[in-house]
Chains A and B, each alone.
Chain A
Amino acid sequence: MSKDDALCGEFFMNGDTACAEGAISAGCRFFAGYPITPATEVAERMSERLPQVGGVFIQMEDEIASMNAILGASWTGVKAMTATSGPGFSLMMENLGLGVMLETPCVLANIQRAGPSTGLPTLVAQGDIMQARWGAHGHYEIVALVPDSPQEMFDLTITAFNLSEQYRVPVLLMADEAVGHMSEKVVMRRINQKELASRPRPKVVPEEYLPYDSREGLVPPMAVAGGGYRFHVTGLTHDDRGYPVMTAEAQDKLIRRLVDKIRLNAKNIIRLEEIGVDDAEVVVVSYGISARIARYAVQKARDEGIKAGLLRLITVWPFAEDRIRELAPKVKAFIVPEINYGQIVREVERCAAGKAKARLVPHMGGSVHLPETVLEAIREEAK
């Protein structure tokens, strides 16, 4: 196998393994992690594959260290990732915030299990969706993708790297135990170099370089350590030079840019799958493993003559606000099956703004919804 050999072809593999292979195909050459069910298989695969392609795998002493190590590695110009689940995701939050503040491209896969605390270590949930959005302190924007199959674990890991490089922001792959552990056919295409984004690089000489040059637009060029730029970056509020400035004005300028670079590009970031939404009276909004069950329920409803549709969120953050606002006046209800006691339903309700009902179909975790439960909700709302 040559140094940059990504796997190509058709494979039968689980979602975690497909995630690792997607990372290799995306050019990821650094992984730092700490074992945790149900994400361990990502680390195990990376420990086998990265040495084969000349990359670095390191098992750190905890998830705090793992998160920091990928940030450090990213500043050397390497594409870096980690993978974890609930307890580890919680430990990573402070330094996810550091990644946001330093504008460091990296990918963090969270293979969700049921919580809070140790919860159900081996069983599925989707309880970390709001944590993905707001888990670190302070106000920021993040990008989070939700795969619904091993195939998407592969594809969306590549997308995650591309978005993180393009916008200089940590990107979250919010998978769940069911998708991480299920095995299915995964087609790994040969990824063309042109399909891979890389962070903007400085075009000026070191003397003129500003690490957070806001004149360069919302995403400033990023130097690499050891490249002669002798730059400074800090988790403190900073100016274009990367120097700390402890004023409300500096905070205003910085936070607006950090948020706006995602907000104003939301249209380019958001990915949705829609089935029968255009003429639907009832739209099921779902994501991840729950969306697979919803897909079946929507099909059954259509068979019964109900005008049902599925809006699958591939990007949960930024949230598809515009699409929900557009649909709200046209539909009777949105139905939101999710494996938690109500997270994305709040977003749907906010955007529906009273124009359509937003109905939660909750599940506390440990297993998935019965298709019948979702179908019943569709029938009731279609009446």
Chain B
Amino acid sequence: MTKMLTVDTNPVDCYLRVDRIPHIWCAGCGIGPATGCFLRAIDRAELNPDKVAVVSGIGCSGRVAGYIKLDSFHTTHGRALPFATGLKLGNPELNVVVFSGDGDIVAIGGNHLIHSARRNIDMTVICINNFNYGMTGGQMGPTTPLDARSATSPYGNFEYPFNLPYLVAASGATYVARWTVLHLRELERSIAEALTKPGFSFIEVLGPCPTVYGRRNKLPRGMDEMRSYQERSVIRDGADPKDVELSLNGPIVVGKFVDIERPTLWDCYQQMLDRVTKP
């Protein structure tokens, strides 16, 4: 007979607003496991939690900020990145993390995404890609695979999606990775790496949304999508971002694709200040 192991607290409880649990996420949703990886990565990266600020936009993924017991900001749809830009430039000592969804960061906030990467502002973006707008009931978005069904593509999506690592790398990000919530260890390690890496770090996290995406695409339970990740994913660190396009049923290339050095926005600003103040 196996014994049930019960624990009163989780090591990351100190980073959670436990008085807000239960959370709003559905059973089988991928946002929770990704949040867990982030919280563990704070310790792994040995950050001073008082200096970590988390910014979210709007969406199911955008609710992450609300459960994290750090300085946390739940802003407007798409605008987490420019809000975070103000935080970082206002206090460069802060370790600024943007945690939000694909619709939030890439659709309505897409302009801010490419410009933040271009500036190489020192922050970490964790983007939950569940291939649709979960919160509003499962409409298609800029990451929905071609032919996938959604609430607004009932006959199959006829638009090409973005290949996010390619987009962000081309825009200037110095750290780019993709994992699924099946790859918990790799994801945690990758987030920890991104948190300590200066410059713009972007991690795409594929996570199931059984409730409104899965059920329309023959993956009705969270486990179904996890199984499909298991069958389809291949780890290829260093893969060329242009080769990691996703499709409805094709391979899912995961790994760390970009890890390069480039002066951050703040480095460049400091150089300019030196020129101004030291004639």
Binding site for B on A (CB under 8 A): 30, 32, 51-52, 54, 56, 58, 60-62, 64-78, 80, 94-95, 98, 102, 224-236, 243-244
Contacts and interface: CB of A to CB of B under 8 A. Distances in A.
Given A61-B112, A235-B76, A243-B20, 9 more contacts: A32-B85, A56-B89, A61-B111, A65-B79, A65-B111, A69-B85, A224-B91, A226-B94, A236-B74
B17 interface: yes
Nearest to B56: A234
Interface string B72-109: 11111011011111111111011000000000000000
B50 A226 contact: yes
A39 B73 CA distance: 30
B20 A51 contact: no
A226 B91 contact: yes
B277 A76 contact: no
Give 10 closest A-B pairs by Cβ, nearest first: A72-B86, A76-B90, A234-B74, A73-B90, A65-B82, A69-B86, A73-B86, A68-B82, A76-B91, A72-B87
Contacts of A56: 89-90, 269
Contacts of A77: 90-91
Most chain B C-beta atoms within 10 Å of own C-beta, residue among A72, A98, A227: A72
Contact of B66 (A52, A224, A243): A243
B17 A225 contact: no
B41 interface: no
A73 B66 contact: no
Contacts of B72: 230-233
B86 A225 contact: no
A304 B93 CA distance: 66
Q: Chain B, interface size: which category?
A: 35 or more
9 contacts: A30-B90, A51-B272, A52-B277, A56-B90, A71-B83, A73-B89, A232-B71, A233-B72, A235-B76
Given A69-B82, A230-B71, A232-B72, A75 B65 contact: no
A235 B74 contact: yes
Where chain B touches its partner, the secondary structure class is helix
A295 B61 CA distance: 56
B65 to A, nearest CB: 7
Contacts of B86: 30, 32, 68-76, 80
B49 interface: yes
Contacts of A72: 55, 73, 82-88, 90
B276 interface: yes
Interface string B41-72: 00000000111010100000000011011111
B50 A230 contact: yes
Nearest to A61: B115
Nearest to B79: A68
B91 A225 contact: yes
B80 to A, nearest CB: 8
Most chain A C-beta atoms within 10 Å of own C-beta, residue among B71, B72, B76: B71
A70 B79 CA distance: 12
Contacts of B84: 72
Interface in B127-171: none
Nearest to A1: B277
B79 A76 contact: no
Given A65-B79, A226-B94, A243-B20, A73 B87 contact: yes
B5 interface: no
Contacts of A244: 66, 74
Given A56-B269, A230-B69, A236-B74, A225 B115 contact: no
Contacts of A227: 50, 71
A80 B85 CA distance: 13
Most chain A C-beta atoms within 10 Å of own C-beta, residue among B66, B73, B272: B73
B4 interface: no
A232 B74 contact: yes
A68 B83 CA distance: 5
B7 interface: no
A62 B108 CA distance: 13
Contacts of B88: 72
Contact of A94 (B76, B90, B276): B76
Contacts of A243: 17, 20, 66
